[in-house]
């Protein structure tokens, strides 16, 4: 039976050790960082909406295209496929797979780009909360 332990202190660390000690040979153990926070996701979409609405550098991009562009900038895999009209559309990227730190980096890049291009943010301090 799959088990998940979120290590928040010594008790959870001891529980994880106990589970590993009792695990049969051949079991697979995976350690991973927690995925992004709901608040980070909401912040990202608000910021992408602000960037899209402000049209920096005259770019008339949707929030999805902006998201793909920023993900690509950070080196996350983004694929571009021809859309129904022949215009490339972004596919193959998922911010839901980002961990908290990666999401904070994405929010920071969006904020820095927006600040350099005079984006008017709908919320103050757009990247301050992303690292919390």
C-alpha to C-alpha distance for 73 and 70, rounded to whole angstroms: 5
If residue 43 lies in a helix (H) or strand (E), which one and from where to where? helix 38-54
> In order along the chain (132 residues), what is the average pLDDT of each group of 10 residues?
80 88 89 82 94 95 91 83 80 81 94 95 63 46
Residue 26: DSSP 8-state: T
Q: Is the four-CA dihedral 41, 47, 52, 58 of positive or negative sign?
A: negative
pLDDT in the model for residue 88: 78
C-alpha to C-alpha distance for 60 and 54, rounded to whole angstroms: 9
pLDDT in the model for residue 128: 53
Report angle CA 117, 97, 8 to the nearest 5 degrees: 110
- Buried b vs exposed e over 74-97: b needs ≥16 C-beta within 10 Å? eebebeeeeeeeeeeebeebebee
pLDDT in the model for residue 130: 47
């Amino acid at each position: 039976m799959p088990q998940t332990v979120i290590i928040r202190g010594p008790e959870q660390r001891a529980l994880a050790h106990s589970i590993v000690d009792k695990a049969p040979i051949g079991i697979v153990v995976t350690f991973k960082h927690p995925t992004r926070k709901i608040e980070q996701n909401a912040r990202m979409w608000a910021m992408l909406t602000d960037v899209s609405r402000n049209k920096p550098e005259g770019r008339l991009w949707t929030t999805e295209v902006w998201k793909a562009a920023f993900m690509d900038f950070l080196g996350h895999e983004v694929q571009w496929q021809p859309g129904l009209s022949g215009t490339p559309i972004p596919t193959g990227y998922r911010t839901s797979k980002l961990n908290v730190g990666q999401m904070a980096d994405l929010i920071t890049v969006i904020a820095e780009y927006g600040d350099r291009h005079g984006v008017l943010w709908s919320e103050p301090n757009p990247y301050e909360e992303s690292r919390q």
